[in-house]
Structure 1
Amino acid sequence: MKIEQIYTGCLAQGAYYITSGNEAAIIDPMRETQPYLDRLERDNVKLRYIFETHFHADFVSGHVDLANKTGAGIIYGPNASADFKHISAADGQEFPLGTCRIKVLHTPGHTMESTTFLLIDENGKDHAIFSGDTLFIGDVGRPDLAQKAALMTREQLAATLYHSLRTKIMTLPDDVIVYPAHGAGSACGKNMSKETVSTIGEQTRSNYALRADMSESEFVKEVTDGLLPPPTYFGMNVAMNKSGIGSFESVFNQGMRKISAIAFEAVVEETGALILDARPGNVFCHGFVPRSINIGIDGDFAPWVGTLIADVNQPVILVTEPGFEEESVTRLSRVGFDNIVGHLDGGFEAWKNAGYEIDNVYRITATAFAENVKLLRDKVIDVRKESEYEAGHVEEAYCKPLAFINEWIKDINPREHFYLHCAGGYRSMIAASILQARGYRDFTEVEGGFNAIATTNLSQTGFICQGKTLK
């Protein structure tokens, strides 16, 4: 028996590949199927099952495509209903895999179909659980994503999760390995560890949500406290995962269509495509195609695209550094952005060399910012998360998290100059590109963000002024 965790860092997502004898199972596969097919061929095994812990909200699964290519069955837990052929297994049902078994543990709460899969080894010993979004390392799944579908409040879902954890998970032996679906950086929880594997014993000792003396009411309060609204694209990804979608290859081939600099504007006009520039912000700021939105491939690219563009059906045309076209298209497909019109052939340099109009973002160093800003007079906008802002910020700065820019942008006075920063420059350059694309130009972006500002003598504080935060 072998278990391989296949971790996708940009989505903080773990898929799992299990082999026993000449059979294999895959749990929570990513959109692109070729990596799994390569493993099956390498190990000379047949894929028997594709297990899905729940209908994912933060990424599009490759379950249907993988099933079509291998003949494997798609297995969900109880309460699962989808538009494609699948098995909605009963609680306690077991599936043989080589000399092992995989047992269904229905663990509702994150969603009502959420299921943990228990791997029982050839000796009949409980070996590992694949806990999906029910149990993370250091956290548990957020209980607010399935409210509408379940016709329940988040508090009711949290109470359901409390009992799932205590009757199905915490009763397992301490040495059972825990393999979650996500780690730190995912929006599916709020306090996840950077570690991607643990044991039941370690979690019952260290995970705040698994305290033995914790009452249901305490659990509900702690799990629901401080939850930020989920990214808008989450609901669309759930719908895609329930209905089945086109193959990754079809999306990839369309996205790899080359569009010349000469034809670029006409294609944008004809399709209504959003120009998405995936180059690093420190490159983008010096020159870009006007009206481009910058979300760099070197950061949390796909989650930010899903958060800020929201509509997965929005046509997108890409501008990347040469050689990054494939990665950009692949990452977009993982969060359901299938309407990729193509990419600028030759990247921005081709556009520039053709003599077309270019734009840029006015950026200064943190030292120049510290020397020139007048704190009681000038407006400073900090686009970090509220928790980052509360830990320390430029005195009198406004907290306007990037995730909510589509809400707060209307409050900006286009005739009033302001400074713009985040933690290191990635998010503030995204914000700068959105602002300029919508006609706001009287601002200065600060290179290096608060990390660089903190090294200057500029006054900083952890005190939160009335009216300075945006919920």
Structure 2
Amino acid sequence: MKIEQIYTGCLAQGAYYIVSGNEAAIIDPLREIKPYLERLEKDQVKLKYIFETHFHADFVSGHLDLSKKTDAPIVYGPTAKPEFEAIIATDEQIFEIGKIKIKVLHTPGHTLESSTYLLIDENGKETAIFSGDTLFLGDVGRPDLAQKSGEITERDLAGMLYESLHSKILPLDDSITVYPAHGAGSACGKNMQKETVDTLGNQKRTNYALNQPTKESFIDEVLDGLTAPPKYFGMNVALNKGGYESFEKVLKKGNNPIAVEDFEIAVEETGALILDTRSAADFHKGFVPNSINIGIKGDFAPWVGAMIVDVQQPIILVSDLGTEEEVITRLSRVGFDNVVGFLEGGFESWRNSGKEIDEVKRISAEQFVSEYSEGQKVIDVRKETEYEAEHIDEAYSKPLAYINDWVGAIDNSEHFYIHCAGGYRSMIAASILQSRGYRNFTEVQGGFNEIKKFEKVPTSNFVCQTKTL
């Protein structure tokens, strides 16, 4: 038997490839299926089942393309209602793969169809659980995504999650390995550990959610501090449930070079958003006017989802040469399939053409410290929890995730500084601000991490962000 966790850092997502004998199973595959097909071919095994723990909200799964390529059926837990052919398992149903078995444990709470898959090895021993978004390391799945107005509330779902954990997961042996669907950085939980594999026994000891004295306290603690889910989540659920265009077609359509002289016409005719995926360090020095910067070397796909939201939005790329296919792939992971093409020759072709170039005013943390004086306006675009842990005194907390809510209140006649933790998110914010006509600001390179090194700017007292028992 072989179990391989295929972890994608930018999404903080774990897919699983399991082999026993000459058969295999894959759990929660990503959109691009080539890596799975290569593994199957290398191991000379047949894919017998594709297991989905639930209808994912934060990424588009590769279940449909993978099933078409391999003829393997897709399996969901009880109550799932996909708009395509699939096996809807019953609670405790057994599936055999080679000499091992997968037992379905229906664990509603994160969503109504959420299920955990219990692996039973060739000796009949319960060995591991693939817990999806039911149980994370250090946390549990957020129970606010499957609410139905007037029918089911987030407290109802949290109560279901408590019952699922206590009736299906916690009675299992401490030695069982926990393989979750996500790790630290995912928006599907709030307190995940950086590790991606653990024992159930250690989670019973260290996971705050598993150590609540009552069901009510569990509900209160799990819901406490939850921020609103990204707005693109619902669209990803719809794609996972209803179907989508094949990744091969998406890649072929988007891999379309657009010459400089045709670029502005293409943007106008398609209504495309110009997405510049270069680093903040390169972007601020020069970019195509009205571009939005979300760097590929960062939490790219989740921020695209959070900032652009509409997965149908046409997009034209400005990317580092040779990265175009990677960008299209990573966009497709969160359902942004409508890439019209990319600027041929990258930004340098635009610069060399003599066309208009825009820039973001950026200064070093050292210069910010030298310029800063009490009363100057500072906007901190980090998450609320980061701000609450420590921030520049009197800085405004304006999280990037909510920029559409607060941007209209900015007084463009008053200069302000803008920063995040390291410069990635503040450059996203800067590009959005400038695309909407706000220019009277300065972005701080290196963000708060660099600013606090100088110890000359007053900050609040540091408070550890990690929840402890």
Q: What TM bracket, shorter-length normalisation?
A: over 0.9
After superposition, give the CA deviation of every residue in 1:44-87 in whole Å (9 maximum; x if it has no partner). Answer: 00001000000000000010111011000100000100110001
Query: Which residue number corresponds to residue 465 of structure 2?
Result: none
Shift of 1:463: 6.7
Preserved contact between residue 112 and residue 150 of structure 1 (Cα < 8 Å):
no
Letter in 1 for 2:410: I
Per the alignment, do residues 270 and 364 of structure 1 end up closer, same or farther by CA in structure 2, a change over 3 Å counting? same
Aligned counterparts of 2:312 and 2:79: Cα–Cα separation in 1: 28
Preserved contact between residue 389 and residue 462 of structure 1 (Cα < 8 Å):
no
Unpaired stretches in structure 1, ≥5 consecutive residues: 465-471
Preserved contact between residue 289 and residue 359 of structure 1 (Cα < 8 Å):
yes
Query: Which residue number corresponds to residue 388 of structure 2?
Result: 390
Aligned counterparts of 1:358 and 1:135: Cα–Cα separation in 2: 48
Alignment length (residue pairs): 462
Aligned counterparts of 1:135 and 1:33: Cα–Cα separation in 2: 25
User: Match of 2:148, SS?
Assistant: helix
Shift of 1:414: 1.5
User: Match of 2:105, SS?
Assistant: strand
Letter in 2 for 1:342: G
Query: Which residue number corresponds to residue 102 of structure 1?
Result: 102
Query: Which residue number corresponds to residue 399 of structure 2?
Result: 401
Query: Which residue number corresponds to residue 467 of structure 1?
Result: none
Preserved contact between residue 392 and residue 460 of structure 1 (Cα < 8 Å):
no
Shift of 1:134: 0.2
Shift of 1:451: 1.1
User: Match of 1:461, SS?
Assistant: coil
User: Match of 2:152, SS?
Assistant: coil
- Percent identical pairs in the alignment equals 66
Aligned counterparts of 2:124 and 2:367: Cα–Cα separation in 1: 66
Aligned counterparts of 1:452 and 1:70: Cα–Cα separation in 2: 50
Output aligned runs, 1:445-456, within 5 Å: 445-456=443-454
Aligned counterparts of 2:227 and 2:459: Cα–Cα separation in 1: 24
Letter in 2 for 1:374: S
Preserved contact between residue 23 and residue 98 of structure 1 (Cα < 8 Å):
yes
Output aligned runs, 1:339-354, within 5 Å: 339-354=338-353
Aligned counterparts of 1:450 and 1:73: Cα–Cα separation in 2: 49
The question of 1:261 aligning with 2:263 is answered: no
Q: Which moved more, 1:383-392 or 1:239-248?
A: 383-392
Shift of 1:150: 9.6
Shift of 1:458: 2.8
Q: TM-score, normalised by structure 2?
A: 0.97
Which runs of 4 or more aligned residues in structure 1 lie more than 6 Å from their structure 2 counterparts after TM superposition?
none
Q: Which moved more, 1:365-374 or 1:304-313?
A: 365-374
Aligned counterparts of 1:446 and 1:3: Cα–Cα separation in 2: 44
Query: Which residue number corresponds to residue 228 of structure 2?
Result: 229
Aligned counterparts of 2:187 and 2:229: Cα–Cα separation in 1: 7
Letter in 1 for 2:26: I
The question of 1:421 aligning with 2:419 is answered: yes
The question of 1:249 aligning with 2:265 is answered: no
Unpaired stretches in structure 2, ≥5 consecutive residues: 463-469
Aligned counterparts of 1:347 and 1:184: Cα–Cα separation in 2: 33
Query: Which residue number corresponds to residue 18 of structure 2?
Result: 18
Output aligned runs, 1:312-391, within 5 Å: 312-376=311-375, 378-391=376-389
Aligned counterparts of 1:246 and 1:327: Cα–Cα separation in 2: 18
Preserved contact between residue 177 and residue 198 of structure 1 (Cα < 8 Å):
yes
After superposition, give the CA deviation of every residue in 1:313-349 in whole Å (9 maximum; x if it has no partner). Answer: 0000100111111111111000000000011111100
User: Match of 2:19, SS?
Assistant: strand
User: Match of 1:128, SS?
Assistant: strand
Query: Which residue number corresponds to residue 55 of structure 1?
Result: 55
Aligned counterparts of 1:385 and 1:122: Cα–Cα separation in 2: 46
